[in-house]
Amino acid sequence: MTQQQEMIRVEVAYARPDVQEIFALEVEAGTNAEQAIVRSGVLEKFPEIDLANNKVGIFGKLTKLQQPLIAGDRVEIYRPLLADPKEVRRRRAAEGKRMKKGGGDVASGDAVSE
């Protein structure tokens, strides 16, 4: 009699600005993130994914491709940033621009007196 391997249900997610896909699949217990990505078919549907360069995570937390999965995990493949956020902030500061937060600046004549 052969012993049947325990199966777990996981998801693999990838998103571009124009489309988001979640691939649900059943894999053997002990399957790692990379194996789930390959088995999901996401690499065929989105050939721009390069696992040597794209970072991956499980539910928003960065992880390694060799991370074993547990039932219910969602493996996420992240796209590279188009611009370095620190560099963008430096450029804005050099140009004298500020990011507005909240309601914006109060005009000098609009100040509330007590």
- Give residue 49's region: left, alpha or beta (phi > 0; psi -120 to 50): beta
Q: Could you tell me if residue 86 is inside a domain?
A: no
| CATH number where 70 lies | 3.10.20.30
Number of structural domains, the chain?
1
Residue 88: its pLDDT value, please? 77
The average confidence (pLDDT) of the chain is 85
What is the band of 100 on the pLDDT scale with cuts at 50, 70, 90?
low
**How confident is residue 94, by pLDDT bands cut at 50, 70 and 90?**
confident
Residue 14 belongs to a domain: yes
Q: What is the 3 state secondary structure string of 47-90?
A: CCCCCCCCCEEECCEEECCCCECCCCCEEEECCCCCCCHHHHHH
What φ, ψ does residue 36 adopt, rounded to 5°?
-65, -40
Q: What is the pTM of this model?
A: 0.70
Q: C-alpha angle 26/34/16, rounded to 5°?
A: 90
Name the residue range of residue 50's domain. 7-77
